[in-house]
Amino acid sequence: MHVIQCSAKHPHICHLDIVRPSQGNVFYLRAILQNHPVKSFTDALTVDNIKASSFQEAATMLGLFVDQNKAQYMMQEAVSALHTPAELCFLFLHLLINDCIIEPLALWQEYMHELSKDFMPQCSHDIHLVGSHALQSIGDSLEEHGKVLNDYGLPQPTLPSSEVLHEWLKWNPLAAANASNAHEAYSLMTDKQHLIFDKVIHCAVNNTPLCAFINRKVGRGKTFLINAICNKLQSLNHIVLPTATATSATLLYPGG
């Protein structure tokens, strides 16, 4: 603890250093000092005129750890102190390997957003993809200590292949624009184009196999229709790979 003398009006300012749960009684003494005014170590051990045998017991008697374990307390404090996601992951890792967490999965689910923030820009803020990246990072660090995510009941990261991830990250930020383009194109379609569009989208959304051949003379709206289908599917987070036998033809379609 650091004490700085200031003035008669504000005699001193205290700064409490961060303490790991593994430091035992010091951790609980710090919790008491944060929440209860004391004049001495004896005073810190005394609650309602009853002297506790340890600072942990005193902290429990004060109700500081009745509804939350020390791992939750540490995570709450670290988040409120604006620690970086990397520092939070480091804390979470050491709480795991030191067996300080009673329910690792529950703590992960509670603080997944804070632990995963570093991965949000590269994952277009998709919470599931972001969480999987954070889990993979924590899992890699656990392996250095001879542990795996399964040892703590944590889920396995579900990351797609690099090719799928590349396509998803490319088109997901454009979902709103693609949806708008598809909606505008749909309003301009003929009845036959509506029939084809609806059939393809229905099969894609419901994971139903479909082999379709669209054939009309030049200038009758084939490219217009296929682009609308691509835009709609991409707006729904589907991966679309338009291909053609001629290189120049692929340039007619986004991502072709």
| pLDDT at position 123 | 61
Query: Is the residue at 255 inside a domain?
Result: no
- Residue 2 three-state SS: strand
Query: Is the residue at 83 inside a domain?
Result: yes
Domain boundary pick from 103, 127, 159: 159
**Same domain? 57 vs 88:** no
**Same domain? 122 vs 153:** yes
**Same domain? 42 vs 113:** no
| pLDDT at position 67 | 46
Has residue 88 got a pLDDT over 60? yes
Determine the Cα–Cα distance for residues 12 and 239; give it in Å rounded to an integer. 61
Contacts of 202 (CB under 8 A, 6+ apart): 208
Per residue in 169-190, pLDDT (tens digit) is: 676 767 788 888 888 888 888 8
Query: Is the residue at 204 inside a domain?
Result: yes
Question: Domain range spanning residue 185?
Answer: 170-250
The pTM of the whole model exceeds 0.85:
no
| pLDDT at position 2 | 43
Determine the Cα–Cα distance for residues 94 and 100; give it in Å rounded to an integer. 8
Query: Is the residue at 109 inside a domain?
Result: yes
**Same domain? 86 vs 137:** yes
> To the nearest whole percent, how much of the chain has pLDDT over 90?
2
CB 142 within 8 A of CB 148: yes
Domain boundary pick from 129, 159, 189: 159
**Same domain? 176 vs 231:** yes
Determine the Cα–Cα distance for residues 183 and 237; give it in Å rounded to an integer. 16
**Same domain? 55 vs 84:** no
Looking at this protein, which amino acid is placed at residue 85?
P
**Same domain? 155 vs 209:** no
CB 149 within 8 A of CB 156: yes
**Same domain? 40 vs 114:** no
Query: Is the residue at 128 inside a domain?
Result: yes
Query: Is the residue at 256 inside a domain?
Result: no
- The DSSP bridge pattern shows strands 50-51 and 46-47 to be antiparallel
**Same domain? 126 vs 174:** no
| pLDDT at position 199 | 92
CB 240 within 8 A of CB 233: yes
Average confidence (pLDDT) over 91-114: 85
Has residue 124 got a pLDDT over 60? no
Query: Is the residue at 238 inside a domain?
Result: yes
Domains: count for the chain? 3
Query: Is the residue at 221 inside a domain?
Result: yes
